[in-house]
Amino acid sequence: MNLGLIPLIVYLYFFSNSLVDTVAQPAFVGPPPLALNCGSKDGGSDANNRKWESDAKYLVAADKSVSSTALTQEASLSSDVPYMTARIFNGETSYKFNVNSTSRYIIRLHFYPSNYPDYNISNSYFVVTIGAITLLRNFSAFITAEALSQAYLIREYSLAAFNSDSITLTFKPGVDKSFAFVNGIELITEPELFDDQAGLVGVADTAGTIDGVSSNMQNMFRLNVGGQFIPPTNDSGGLMRSWYDDTPYMFGAGTISHVGNITIDYKDLPEATAPADVYRTARSQGPDPNINKQSNVTWVFQVDANFTYLVRFHFCEYHLDKINQRVFEIKLNNETAFNTADIIAWTGGKGIPTRKDYAVYIGNKPGIDAELWVTMHTNIDLKPEFYDILLNGLEVFKLSDSQSNLAGRNPVPSKMMQKQLIENRAAHDPNRKSRKQVIVGGAVGGAATVGVAAAVLFMIRKRRRRVSGSDPGATSWLPVYGNSASKSTTSGKSHGSSSLSTDAVCNCRYFSLMEIKRATNNFDESKVVGVGGFGKVYKGVVDGNIMVAVKRSNPSSEQGVNEFVTEIEMLSKLRHRHLVSLIGFCEEGNEMVLVYDYMGKGTLREHLYKGNKITLSWKQRLDILIGAAKGLHYLHTGAKYTIIHRDVKTTNILCDDKWVAKVSDFGLSKTGPNMTQNHVSTVVKGSFGYLDPEYFRRQQLTEKSDVYSFGVVLFEVLCARPALNPSLPKEQVSLADYALQSARKGTLEEMVDPQLKGKIKPEAFKKFTDCSLKCLSDHGLERPSMGDVLWTLESVHRIETKAEETRNSPKSPSSSIGMVEVPIDNTDMIAMHLNTLNLDNDDDDDYDDPEDDAAIFSQIINPKGR
Ligand SMILES: *[C@@H]1O[C@H](CO)[C@@H](O)[C@H](O)[C@H]1NC(C)=O
Ligand SMILES: *[C@@H]1O[C@H](CO)[C@@H](O)[C@H](O)[C@H]1NC(C)=O
Ligand SMILES: *[C@@H]1O[C@H](CO)[C@@H](O)[C@H](O)[C@H]1NC(C)=O
Ligand SMILES: *[C@@H]1O[C@H](CO)[C@@H](O)[C@H](O)[C@H]1NC(C)=O
Ligand SMILES: *[C@@H]1O[C@H](CO)[C@@H](O)[C@H](O)[C@H]1NC(C)=O
Ligand SMILES: *[C@@H]1O[C@H](CO)[C@@H](O)[C@H](O)[C@H]1NC(C)=O
Ligand SMILES: *[C@@H]1O[C@H](CO)[C@@H](O)[C@H](O)[C@H]1NC(C)=O
Ligand SMILES: *[C@@H]1O[C@H](CO)[C@@H](O)[C@H](O)[C@H]1NC(C)=O
């Protein structure tokens, strides 16, 4: 990789569309696509302002169906339409659609498995067929959504021409009290996108190829590799597909995402193949050819066994323009699909997209979840100019089997997950408790769990008494999710018997107990690097030389199951340079173990005060804050749904050996709503000193609660003092209160860490404190977004850097919000996976110890001091 790449690497979060133009082919025009809002009287518009019509006129025997409205609206529902209304079928019922007999069609089914009046969703099992093709069989939308932890499901099929002018879509409920339902149906003409023969990988040459044109398939995954989520309304060809971020599927290895400043010229490729945004963004390995030669880039997908999968690769070179500059191998499930992939050889130039299809059969391996591995590796034999790979988009389609069946089995959520789901549901039940009780329960329960939550991986805690009536001696290595106001601690949990399903839930690795024991020398006491109420954390080594942190539950613990599950679910889906990586987990017998990257420098907090080993310079502090802000910004905006961390504080910001900051501890995280709704109601959780006062008052969690907590972190870093310090005079106990008061009095400068005095440029100081104070605003609306905070921190950093640079060279770096260029040595985009995690064993007398509850409570009960 040469330095010519630098201007092309663009910081993705600020990716601006305006940089590029598209040379558009005339768009494909088919008959008007159908979008049915099932069960509604007159349709409606969704959050993207797309129109949906009523399904009534397409129904063939309407007497066996009823329209209904969901009883609850989940916060993570992206849009009311089409999800809040449903068509419910008590007997076999069909829709009839007129179609063009020679066209391919995309059919998309939307399911929102909520409860509907008089129907218990857990009884719903059904079959869906279209013509002779079985789309779903014994399908439980409820079980599937729970196992995938999604509020709603979309099933998308691409079907070969029907050879008939009309087609019936049939819903058939299972036996007993079962019923079928559907919330939305889309039927869209698809131009012929599968006219290539796809080579079948891993079988003798004679076994041949897959013919796409006559294939019926289900889209399983559709990824904008190296790019962002692309909503249906931004898809090309009017096909209304969603393109997702690929990072949740990435397995190990360092990679870089790129946004190419290029014009996409589709040439002969139908524009409907993929939108230009897919071809503009890409992922490659990184600047070091030696690392690239030894590693590969892998994506792993959970799939249904006993099907053939067609894997479509989208390529578009954005930078190089000669043959043999970048040549790589493509493997599917470790078998070579193509070993001399050279994009320029295929397309003839940069900015010209292409796609390649390969197919692979995935059989049944008893006891192992079926997985599809997509691996790319630079071709060393051909000695290309750059040892690297490139991928822009990836789609995975399941092909129907010999019985024209596309249905897989329902995923199996483990008992552990089921338990959590039941508790979550109970916690969200509005009838369960009056609001006031929830507040009280939340505050009290919060006090009990807060310290444990704080502990997470790295902090050593004293045993603390629990307020919630459980055995005061009982310890838990993870706090119980939803515990605070519920009685779950007394319900006699047992978790040892179940095995957490890795099915689609978890993209991370499963470790056997044997492996874990080997890694930690059979939980050798000398390997303990942290102990807490939650159990012990061990330093370990896996795969010969990879350092890991092994978090082990106390085997006698009856709690923590839910955080265990939440943490796995959250972290296995998230991969980001500034988030701590979960490598895997083990659940066997009574043991629950999580395996993380080992972080060499430990927590941010331990470098700020409390016997800090090294005093961090102002610039170092800024770097760490910028990293943490990026991690949080990613949580808030990078994934499809907003994820609210809920426990942002200096002990949850860790640094690896190279001082790269990473946000950790997702045990309390909440998948939040999209833009359409703006809060989640929930029991108050978090750590005192960092808690958003508005969240306390209203129990409405928004991402701005994280911004508040981060504001406290900003002051903690600036002032090098804890968020709560009960030993100080009353008005100074809470850092947030103290900062706000000082700002009013104009005495902020007095708070600054003496070690930083005179080292901060006045302009930078003003920017930094203005932003930090805004974060502490009483109302979420007045607080900046994490993106704004990040931008401010980066500009503060630039002010400080410029001050240094102008002494050396007079060039003035200019940057705008729209686009930030990342120099290559800023390894920002390189998701180096195997960093390390230090678990420091200093016995930390916490500011949030139960002894301090009095001070803490005064802060809660009297929030007006803020
Ligand atoms: C059906 O689709 C084909 C292309 O797939 C098109 O040529 C033809 O005109 C269409 N027929 C009708 C009746 O729309
Ligand atoms: C729905 O059915 C399930 C299992 O059949 C049962 O456990 C649950 O309590 C029912 N829910 C309601 C609200 O009746
Ligand atoms: C979708 O397209 C609109 C209009 O072209 C653009 O403003 C918006 O940023 C796009 N959204 C995404 C997520 O690409
Ligand atoms: C993008 O490319 C165009 C033309 O090649 C050039 O004028 C423009 O400065 C480039 N923009 C960036 C941000 O590099
Ligand atoms: C990918 O790289 C890893 C580490 O170098 C190696 O162990 C593995 O076998 C490679 N996988 C494939 C499919 O090449
Ligand atoms: C796959 O096929 C085998 C053999 O026919 C069968 O035993 C197995 O249960 C099937 N697996 C799935 C997930 O359908
Ligand atoms: C591919 O190979 C790796 C090790 O090289 C192994 O861990 C993985 O399970 C293999 N994947 C499949 C699908 O066989
Ligand atoms: C239907 O699905 C449920 C839940 O996955 C399963 O327990 C049951 O055995 C399935 N029934 C059939 C007939 O496959």
Model pLDDT for residues 129-178, shown as the tens digit of each residue: 999 999 999 999 998 887 776 788 999 999 999 999 999 999 999 988 89
Residue 587: helix, strand or coil by DSSP? strand
- Give, for ligand 2, the residue of 115, 119, 120, 143 to mutate: max count of ligand atoms closer than 8 Å to Cβ: 120
Q: Which DSSP helix (H) or strand (E) runs through 789?
A: helix 786-808
Higher-confidence position of 803 and 627: 627
Of ligand 3's atoms, which has the minimum distance to the CA of residue 277?
A: 14
Higher-confidence position of 202 and 685: 202
Percent of the chain with pLDDT over 90: 39
pTM for this prediction: 0.58
**259 within ligand 3 shell (Cβ under 6 A):** no
For residue 501, CA distances in Å to 565, 570, 586, 684, 804 come to 10, 15, 11, 29, 53
Of ligand 8's atoms, which has the minimum distance to the CA of residue 411?
A: 5
State in Å: Cα 411 to ligand 8 middle.
10
Higher-confidence position of 827 and 721: 721
Query: Which of 562-588 are b and which e, b meaning 16 or more Cβ less than 10 Å from the residue's Cβ?
Result: bbbbbbbbbbbbbbbbbbbbbbbbbbe
**What is residue 109's predicted lDDT score, i.e. its pLDDT?**
97
Q: How far apart are CA 153 and CA 208, in angstroms?
A: 35
Q: What is the DSSP string of 471-540?
A: -TT---SSPPTTTTTS-GGGS----TT-----TTT--SEE--HHHHHHHTTTT-GGGEEEEETTEEEEEE
Place of tokens 């909440």: 670
Q: How far apart are CA 323 and CA 342, in angstroms?
A: 7
Query: Which of 777-814 are b and which e, b meaning 16 or more Cβ less than 10 Å from the residue's Cβ?
Result: bbebeebbebbbbbbbbbbbbbbbebeeeeeeeeeeee
Q: How far apart are CA 717 and CA 191, in angstroms?
A: 56
**DSSP 8-class letter at 157:** E
Domain ranges of the chain: 415-467, 484-597, 602-802
**What is residue 418's predicted lDDT score, i.e. its pLDDT?**
53
How is domain 484-597 classified at the CATH fold level? Answer: Phosphorylase Kinase; domain 1 (3.30.200)
Inter-residue contact 127 to 139 (CB < 8 Å): yes
State in Å: Cα 59 to ligand 8 middle.
28
Q: What is the DSSP string of 287-321?
A: S-HHHHHH--EEEEEE--SSEEEEEEEEE--SS--
Q: Whose CA is closest to 219, among 174, 252, 250, 186?
A: 186
Q: How far apart are CA 157 and CA 107, in angstroms?
A: 5
Higher-confidence position of 682 and 388: 388
pLDDT tens per residue across span 288-338: 888 888 888 999 888 999 999 999 999 999 989 999 999 999 999 999 999
Residue 259: helix, strand or coil by DSSP? strand
**539 within ligand 5 shell (Cβ under 6 A):** no
Residues in the chain, how many?
866
pLDDT tens per residue across span 50-94: 899 999 999 997 778 999 999 887 766 778 899 999 999 999 999
**Residues of the binding site for ATP:** 551
**331 within ligand 5 shell (Cβ under 6 A):** yes
pLDDT of residue 441 exceeding 50: no
Cα 367-423-579 angle, rounded to 5 deg = 70
Structure tokens given for 249? 């599927």
Query: Which of 282-316 are b and which e, b meaning 16 or more Cβ less than 10 Å from the residue's Cβ?
Result: bbbbbbebeebeebbbbbbbbbbeebbbbbbbbbb
- Give, for ligand 4, the residue of 261, 321, 817 to mutate: max count of ligand atoms closer than 8 Å to Cβ: 261
Q: How far apart are CA 794 and CA 774, in angstroms?
A: 17
Nearest ligand, CA of residue 295?
5
**DSSP 8-class letter at 617:** P
Q: How far apart are CA 664 and CA 535, in angstroms?
A: 17
Q: How far apart are CA 759 and CA 420, in angstroms?
A: 49
Inter-residue contact 224 to 281 (CB < 8 Å): yes
**What is residue 499's predicted lDDT score, i.e. its pLDDT?**
29
Of ligand 7's atoms, which has the minimum distance to the CA of residue 371?
A: 13
pLDDT of residue 459 exceeding 60: no
Higher-confidence position of 187 and 672: 187
Nearest ligand, CA of residue 252?
5
**What is residue 462's predicted lDDT score, i.e. its pLDDT?**
24
Q: Look at 179-193, 268-282, 333-347, 530-544 and tell me which has the smallest mean pLDDT.
A: 530-544
Q: Which residues are catalytic?
A: 647
Q: Considering only CA atoms, give the Rg of the chain.
A: 27
**234 within ligand 3 shell (Cβ under 6 A):** yes
pLDDT tens per residue across span 467-518: 222 222 222 222 222 222 222 222 222 222 222 333 223 456 778 888 888 8
- Mean predicted lDDT score pLDDT of the chain: 74
Q: How far apart are CA 482 and CA 500, in angstroms?
A: 19
Of ligand 5's atoms, which has the minimum distance to the CA of residue 295?
A: 5
Question: From atom 3 of ligand 3, which residue's Cα is the shortest distance away?
Answer: 234
Q: What is the CATH number of domain 602-802?
A: 1.10.510.10
State in Å: Cα 164 to ligand 1 middle.
12
Q: Look at 53-62, 120-129, 422-431, 665-674 and tell me which has the smallest mean pLDDT.
A: 422-431
Place of tokens 């197919």: 359
Q: Look at 52-61, 242-251, 401-410, 851-860 and tell me which has the smallest mean pLDDT.
A: 851-860
Higher-confidence position of 196 and 449: 196
Q: How far apart are CA 444 and CA 466, in angstroms?
A: 10
